[in-house]
Amino acid sequence: MPAEADLSVLPGLPRVGETAVFREPWEARAFALAVKLNEQGLFTWSEWAETLGAEISRAQAEGDPDLGETYYLHWLAALERLVTAKQVTSDDKLVARKEAWERAALATPHGEPIELGRDGRPVEPA
């Protein structure tokens, strides 16, 4: 069984007590993905914290008021930076996947789950 993640290295993580808080389901998925990639050895928590901190600093330098609403956008940007730096995927593949999600969202009737490929176009692996 893998060791529990040491969340103390992620001081900006929204919490209630010791429990992480997510405003949207995608935030929880992004969090879980980071934990899983760490467990698989793609990066250390120190490397993750450094990358996330750099993303937050970059966003603040570009005018992000750092009120908490954009925290998981920075989280996602850090994940993207690490998976491309570690050559798990490429920037082009990430862009293609984002575009596929946008097309799928537009093709999905309100209230139904968004599914890649729903627009009839093939979905390439990320």
Residues 34-81 have pLDDT tens digits of 999 999 999 999 999 999 999 999 999 999 988 888 999 999 999 999
Structure confidence at residue 10 (pLDDT): 57
Average pLDDT taken over every residue of the chain: 85
Under the banding of pLDDT at 50, 70 and 90, the label for residue 7 is: low
Gap between the Cα atoms of 19 and 17, Å rounded: 6
Instruction: Kindly report which listed range (50-64, 94-108, 109-123) carries the lowest average pLDDT score.
Output: 109-123
Residue 104 in contact with residue 114, Cβ under 8 Å? yes
Residue 122 has what pLDDT?
Answer: 79
Separation of alpha carbons 102 and 104, rounded Å: 5
Residues 2-18: what's their mean pLDDT?
A: 59
Residue 91, pLDDT > 70, answer: yes
Query: What is the model's pLDDT at position 120?
Result: 81
CB neighbours of residue 62 within 10 Å: 7
